[in-house]
Each structure stands twice: as C-alpha cells, then as structure tokens.
Structure 1
Amino acid sequence: MPLTYPDRLFPSEPKLRSTARNLFEGIENLPIISPHGHCDPSWFAKNERFPNPAELLVVPDHYVFRMLVSQGLSLEALGVPRADGTKPEVDPRDIWKLFAQHFHLFRGTPSSMWLNHSFEHVFGIDVPLNADTANEYYDHIDTQLGLDAFRPRALFESFGVECLATTEGALDDLQSHKAIMESGWAGRVVTTYRPDAVVDPEFEGFAENVELFGQLTGEVTTTWTGYLNAHRKRRAFFKEHGATASDHGHPTARTENLDVAEAEALFQKAIAGTCNADEADSFRGQMLTEMAKMSLDDGLVLQIHAGSVRNHSSRVFAEYGRDKGFDIPKRTDYVGGLKPLLDAVGMEPDLTVLLFTLDETVYGRELAPLAGAYPSLKLGPPWWFFDSFEGIKRFREATTETCGFYNTAGFNDDTRAFCSIPARHDVARRSDCAYLAELVETGRLSMSDAHEVAHDLAYGLAKTAYKL
C-alpha cells in the first residue's frame, strides 16, 4: 500500500481536485531549481556513499530531532554532534530505532509527508515506519546506500535537480566547490555567500573572525575601508565558485545608511567588542545596506532571512552550537526596518533583494505592499515553520492580490536533508496548483494562464530571481 496518496493536498471538492490535478500534471516532472539550502557540498565533491540511514535522514535534520527533543529524547541519543565537533558513541541502528519508535509524533506535520515521500519514492518502501519495521527499514535503506545509484551525484541526477545552491560562511575556503568544478561532473552545485560570522558583532569570535578575514583577503580589516574591500574580494571569490546570491540571517530587518564617519566609529566599537545590543543591531543593519550597494556592482542577489531568535536555548547552544532546532520566530518590522536601505537603493531595477519572514502577520500588511511597489524587492517563499501546505496557501492568499505572483521568487527548499528536496518541491507544486485551481474555478484566472503561472511558480521564477 503506498505511503503517499496520489491526490494528496488537492481540494476535496471533485471539480477543484480535477483542475488542480490537471495543473499539477503539467509541472510534476519539471527540473528542480534549489537556489537556497544547506546541503554539504563535500557530498558531491567526494561522491562517497552516505554512511547509514541515521546519518542521512535523522542526524542532520533539525526538523526531525527538534520534535523528538520536544518529547524528551536527548540530542546525544540521536547522534547529534556537540559544539566542539565530537560525535556521541551511539550505534546508528539504535538512533534509527528511536526514530522509528517515535515516528508517530510527526503525524499531520510536513516532516511526515516529506519522510514518507522519501521512503516510498527514493527507497521504494511501501510499509509504514514504526518500532516493528525499524530493522527492516534500516537494512533496506542501508543496502541501497551501498549501491552506485544512491551515491550523492546519482541521487542528485535522479531527483531531477538542475541547480543546487549550498551556503558557506565568508571564511570558507570553498575547496569542495572547487573539487566539484574540477571533477568533470555535469551537476550544477553553486555556493552562496553567508557573511554572518564577520558581520554580526554578537557572533562568537567576531573580532578574531574579522582578523582572519583580513588575512584571507590581504586587506587591513581593522579599518572600515579595508573591511569593506575584504567583503568585495570574498564576494568575487564566491562568484568564481558559482555564487549568484548572498544570504543574511539577522534577528531583525533593521537597516541603516550611516555616513562614513558614523559607520567607521560603529565598526571600531564592533571589533573592540564594546557594542551594546542596539549598536550591534545597528551595525548589522548598516551591513545590509552595504551588501545591497555591493550587489549593484557585482550582481549578487541579496537574501534577508530576518525575524528568528537564534539559539533560544542557551544550554543547547553551549553544548551543541548553532542550528539545533532552537531558532524561534519573533515579531518583525519590515516597513520601518528596511526604509534606510530602500531610500538608498530600493528603486534600482538591477538590484534584487529577496525578503523572508517567520512572522506571517506581515505578509499582507508589510511584505506584499513593499514588494508590490519597490522594483528591487521580491518575496521569498514561506520559510522554515511555514514550508507546508497550509503555510504556502496562507502566503499565496495574503500576498497575491497585492504583489501578484511575479514579485515572488517561486520556491526553495532551504534544507540540510538531501532526500527531502524532491518531497518539498512536490508539496510546493501541489500546494500552488490547489491554490490556482481555486482561482480558475472562481473565474479569477483562465486555465491557460494558470498553466503558465504553475510553471513559473515551480521553475521559472526561482531561476530568474536567483539569476540561474
């Protein structure tokens, strides 16, 4: 019995369902553009087998382990490495058994749909995962991971991925991307410039990071001019390795456009470690505007992922580091926060700024009106907690009437879980077709236009927005 229902996510009303299915059949097998995510580029550089089912499907996926932790399981028992890089001595089969015993916790969540899609369509499994089938699952997946068809590059190709973007810090040497480029493999894997470690004064080791930044670029990064030049050089280096975008994960959407003297003074406080919280936020805001100005010169798309309180659990952060499932949404001001940047460069048609949010209340009130006016702005798709059928539907309903479809950037999966990529794009395509079916059957969109929009939402908009 299939784990996934063929008409999943389509409306229950027969005529709407038929229309949604018709639209979906036209885009179901389009290539995947994955322009923003966090897969490890070394997978494709080395093309070695994935170690085991737990390392592939549980350990790197914070959607999975955060749910299990919320029910009392420990990160150690789930094999999650500690902040210093040490891995707990846990048998991967035991990790998998824990996962299987608690798989019922994911009922009704996007993770359940993504995982079942992976089990069925990637690994060919058609029985439910539970405590009784845990060993059967583990053995089957582990055997398949030993086959050439399940190595990273082969899976990339079987998933129909046309382009995959990873995300690396400004200090990364990009050796994996260099190895991919020199390997002769035709798969397109590009990097993304993520400078948080040398932009955020509250990032651990910020001053040391800025010093290393100078060593890498040959610039005197104790001066404001040298520091900005270092960014320009690293951005160029990333472009040489395929980058078409930068990405900025800031707690707020605040921007600044200070004069040179004010910016220099704030920078000196940042590297001296004497910024208070407001000054640190101001510096991050200044750097968003500086990055936007640099994008006008080098063409990189500017992504702003704002509104997440990162590492909310101090204990988990101290023991396990960043990205361990404890980043929590917060209220975010885009209208006031972005105004300095928009006053400076917002009317530039050659600039692309993609806005993401974890605050759904701003969709109709702030984001759609902004993107529907400024030529530099586009809306990124529902992100993280809202990367779901309901989340995508709410996004479309709240934004389309104000900024349309063509001031949005299609879909990206933003994942570390490689095998979930086709599943996530499947959900997005079904969700959008369900929404478009409503427009067709209520006379707001012709069927021919709906087919064109469905294609653009699934493929064309992301490819265009990210200059891919």
Structure 2
Amino acid sequence: MKSFLNSDFLLENEYSRILYHEYASDMPIIDYHNHLSPKMLAEDTKFDNLSQVWLDGDHYKWRAMRTLGISEKYITGEATDKEKFDKWAYTVPYTLRNPLYHWTHLELQRYFNISEPLSQVNASSIYERANEELKKDNYSCRGLISKMNVEFLCTTEDPTDTLQHHKILAKSNFTTKVSTAFRPDNAIIIEADGFVNYIELLSEVSGTTINNFVTLCDALEKRIAYFHSHGCRIADHGLSHMYYTSFNENDINTIVEKRLSNKTISGDDMNTFKCAVLLFLSGKYHQYGWIQQFHLGALRNNNHRMLTQLGPNTGWDSIGDWLQAEKLSKFLNHLDTNNQLCKTIIYNLNPRDNEVMASMVGNFNDGSVRGKIQFGSGWWFLDQKDGMEKQMNALSNIGLLSCFIGMLTDSRSFLSFPRHEYFRRILCNLIGRDIANGELPNDTKWLGKMVQDISYNNAKEYFNI
C-alpha cells in the first residue's frame, strides 16, 4: 500500500514517475487566468493567520462546510478566525474523495511543510505552526507566489477598473510578471439588476455619454485601449452559453435605449444585445492582437435567499445544461468569415459537452497559428482528477493534446498554486499509463518534451511571454 500524498502521489507506474520527476515538476508556472487581488499583490499583504489566507473567499470550502451542517456563523459570519479554522479542520476528514481533501494537504505540505492529515484533533497545532510561518517575510502574497516558481500570472478586472494596482506592480521589483484580463461581463448581462447603474459608471470612467449601442461600443473601445496601454493582452468572459442571431444597428440602439430608460425588454432582445456586444468586442480583441477566453456553462446564483444575504461568488452556482454547439459555431464562424477571429480559449463546465468543445475548436484551427483555438482545461467543478482526465481524453481523441496550453488556477486564493502540480501529476500519469499498456512507445524523451510543452512551453508561446 502506498503512503498518502508521498512524492509519487497520483503516479501509478515507473513511466509516470519519470515523466513527472524528470520533466514536469521543475517547470515554471504560467497562471494565465485567476481572480487574485491586485491590491493585495501591490501592497504585498501579509496574513495574520491561516484562516485569512486559506478560508476567506473560498466558496469551494464553504459549500463543503454547509453540506456538513455547519452554521454560516463559522463560514462567512461573525465567528473568530480561529473558530472558523476549527470548523474547517472538523470538515476536512469528511471531504474524502472530494478534491478538497487533496488540495488541502498539498497546500499544507508545499507551503508549510506539514504532512499529517488535518482533523479536529490536530487543528490547534497545525494552526499555530502555520501561523508561525506566516510571520516570516517570505510568506507575504508575493512570497507565497514566488515559492511556487510562478513566472507569470494574469488577474481579472472589470473595464471600469483604474488598474492602479497593476501600475504599482509594473514598477515593483516583484520577479513574477503580473498582467490583467479585461472582463466585460457587466456590460453584457443586460438583464442584471445593476446594469443601468453600471452603464452610468462606465460612462463616467470612459468619458463617454452612453445613451445607445454606438456610444456603448465607443466607451468599451476606450477601455480596451486603456487596458492595452497598461499591458493587457487577454480578455475573459463568464457566460452561460454563446449568443448568435441576426440584427441591425437600429435594432440594438432601440434595445439599449429602452433598457437605459428602465423599460422592459424581451428575452430575444437580451440575446440579440449580447450577441452584438460580443461580436463588437471580439472584433476589437482581434484588432489589438489580444487573446479571448470564454468560460461557458455555469448556472449562477441559484439560491436567491442566500444570494440576497451574501452576494455573488459565495457558493450558490452549479453546472448548467444549455445546448452549446450551434450558437458557438455561428459566433466563431462569423468572426472567422470577417477575419476577426483571434486566439481563443473555450472552457466547458458540463462534462457532457467535452467532445462537443474538443471537436468545435478543430473547425477554426486554420493553420495560421499553432493551437490557435484551444479547448481549455477543466475548470471550477471539473478541475479535479476525473474532470481533468476527461477533458484531456476528449482533446486527445479529437484534437492534439500536444498543442494544449495546460492548467490555470481560476482561484482567489494565494495558496492555490499546487493545483498546477496536481494537474501535472495527472497528465504524467495519463501518459505513463498508456506507455505501460503498450498504447504509446516507451520514448520518455519525446513524451517528456510533450509534458513540458503542456505544462509550460505551449502557454509561454501562446501568450507571447
């Protein structure tokens, strides 16, 4: 029997071990999509205790604790940091076979050199030991990132953001390159309660009076130019599904004018507007030489009672089941036909659609750029062993795994970077298993290069780092 989470964790055979230890493990990390706080990075924030760096904002852990029947007082409520940690420690043994169990202990090992499984029994000891480490200078936000050999990371900001913290980082001595991604969801989700107020803010920040579709596009283009001038080269969108329909400018102007006057618009109007804005934005991304990302498939804000109480991104989202293929095809085809299709990464949240997405990206890989259209790594509910293997198997069966740009954290946590190790171990084991089964040749030099490409080199080339 293997010991838990030893150096050969997830590596089933000698080929997997060679691929990981000799080729993958020491590659730097390119984390091209996350939700880390630029403010905390700019200020190089230090944490008073393990709860602050580990539990704050982590809705993965919060969902597990709620499932176990733990009161919200100990999750997002008024309990002390130590009380919250104790409740998390109590929860951990109940997360067996959930990826949280692996992530928890990888993070304890990699950042704090703590190897014993966390439980209610040793909670106080582990809390005190970790807190002592957090007092050290190299345990600030930047220090935690440097520990994981992160070469590049990309946070995610709204078009109205001033990027003041990125300006500070650009002038700092932080060795990790930090950039941002342009995330215009608030300008796209026209049915949102705060849409009109948001447009007023966008008007103010852009210096453009927005009263129709044309002026909205003007404002967004100004913000794209502003982000570009501060090093942004990536856009990101969190959508339930892609939108595509025929329209003309007058139709869209009417829809925007009605919505800004707080008049009711139809579901068809909403979809038409979203299509028009997305096509405009994608055209601009191509013009500026950016890369666009589409995270598709989340059914958000399901529990309205708790959403009202705690707000979004607090653990009330799940996997949606929309039909994805047809609209996505028409959207990408429109851009391709008009020579406006830039490098594109498509992430899928419903494993039912893995083969749909893997085959879709092949329709628009035209030979102009290696891996131009990417089927992104398993994300959110799928960034675990089974989800990652299914995504890579679908990509292998239908496309070229060798051109894959690999893993990202998509996290708000400064302790999340061992997920790259987790991914690399799973990747190496997938390939090592095929070698052992005689399905791939025992050419570890070539396969090792492939592993290094997926772990690091492909992303470095793709994002021009």
Indicate the TM-score class for this superposition, using the shorter chain for normalisation: over 0.9
Partner of 1:94: 83
Which is further off, 458-467 or 93-102?
458-467
Which AA in structure 1 matches 2:405?
A
- 1:357 maps to which residue? 348
Q: In 1, Cα distance between the equivalents of 2:252 and 2:461?
A: 34
Structure 1 runs, 4 residues or longer, greater than 6 Å off: none
The residue aligned with 1:74 is 71
Instruction: State yes or no: 1:7 paired with 2:8.
Output: yes
**2: CA distance, partners of 1:432 / 1:339:** 29
Residue identity opposite 1:67 in structure 2: A
Task: Kindly indicate whether residue 18 of structure 2 is the aligned counterpart of residue 18 of structure 1.
Answer: no
Compute the displacement of 1:41 (Å).
1.2
Q: Is the 8 A contact 2:59 2:315 kept in 1?
A: yes
Aligned to 1:185: 174
Summarize deviations over 1:248-267 as a string: whole Å, max 9, x none: 11122223453322322233
SS, match of residue 167 in structure 1: strand
The secondary structure found in structure 1 opposite 2:415 is: helix
Asked if 1 retains the 8 angstrom alpha-carbon contact of 2:286 and 2:340, the reply is no
What is the distance in 1 between the residues matched to 2:259 and 2:329? 23
Unaligned runs of 5+ residues in structure 2 are 366-371
SS at match of 1:126: coil
Instruction: Indicate the residue corresponding to 1:297 in structure 2.
Output: 287
CA RMSD, 1 decimal: 2.0
Partner of 1:279: 269
Tell me, yes or no, if structure 1 residue 144 matches structure 2 residue 141.
Answer: no
How far 1:460 moved relative to its partner? 1.9
Candidates 391, 412, 419, aligned match of 1:416:
412
Q: Is residue 357–residue 383 contact of structure 1 (8 Å, CA) maintained in 2? A: yes
Aligned residue type for 1:289:
L
State how far apart, in whole Å, the 1-side matches of 2:312 and 2:172 are. 32
C-alpha distance after superposition, 1:224-269 (max 9, x if no partner): 2221121111112222333221111112222345332232223333
Amino acid at match of 1:328: S
> Equivalent residue for 2:29?
32
Which structure 2 residues correspond to residues 136-285 of structure 1 after superposition, within 5 A? 136-256=125-245, 258-273=247-262, 274-285=264-275
Shift of 1:210: 0.8
Between the aligned partners of 2:259 and 2:336, the Cα distance in structure 1 is: 27
Q: 1:196, 1:203 within 8 Å by CA — same for their partners in 2? A: no
CA offsets, 1:145-189, max 9 Å, x none?
A: 111011111221111000111111122222211221223333211
Partners of 1:3 and 1:238 lie apart in 2 by 45
**In structure 2, C-alpha distance between the alignment counterparts of 1:313 and 1:225, rounded to whole Å:** 36
Q: State how far apart, in whole Å, the 1-side matches of 2:281 and 2:236 are.
A: 10
Distance 1:349 1:272, change over 3 A: closer
Report what 1:318 is aligned to.
Answer: 308
* Aligned mates of 2:259, 2:148 — CA distance in 1: 44
Give the 5 Å matches for 1:30-69.
30-69=27-66
Distance in 2 (CA, whole Å) between partners of 1:175 and 1:3 is 44
Distance 1:460-1:334 versus aligned 2 partners, 3 A rule: farther
Asked whether the equivalents of residues 57 and 314 of structure 2 are also in contact (C-alpha less than 8 Å), the reply is: no
Please give the secondary structure, in 1, of the residue aligned with 2:449: helix
Rounded Cα–Cα distance in structure 1 between residues aligned with 2:463 and 2:71: 38
Whichever residue aligns with residue 227 of structure 1, its letter is L
- Tell me the amino acid that sits aligned with residue 344 of structure 1: H
Percent identity reads 24
Partner of 2:460: 463
Q: Is the 8 A contact 2:92 2:118 kept in 1?
A: yes
* CA distances 1:53-106 after superposition (whole Å, capped 9, x unpaired): 11111122111111111222233322x2xxxxxxx4321111111111121122
C-alpha deviation, 1:286, in angstroms: 2.5
DSSP-derived class of the 2:171 partner: helix
Give, in whole Å, the separation in 1 of the partners of 2:259 and 2:73. 35
Note closer, same or farther for the CA distance 1:121–1:268 as it changes in structure 2 (3 Å cut): same
The Cα of 1:36 is off from its aligned counterpart by 0.3
Say if 1:201 and 1:271, in contact at 8 Å, map to a contact too: no
1:112-141 residue CA offsets vs partner (Å, 9 max, x unmatched) = 111101111210112221112111111111
Larger mean Cα displacement after TM superposition, 372-381 or 54-63: 372-381
TM-score (norm 2): 0.92
- Contact 1:257 1:289 survives alignment (8 Å): no
Cα distance in 2 for partners of 1:443, 1:75 equals 50
1:346-385 Cα distance to aligned partner (Å, 9 max, x none): 3648611211111111111x21111112125211110111
Q: How high is the TM-score relative to the length of structure 1?
A: 0.92
Residue type of the alignment partner of 1:369: S
Q: Distance in 2 between matches of 1:338 and 1:408?
A: 20
Distance 2:126 2:272 in 1: 50
| Paired residue type of 1:104 | P
Indicate the SS of the match to 2:238: strand
In structure 1, the partner of 2:373 is: 377
Distance 1:368 1:298, change over 3 A: same
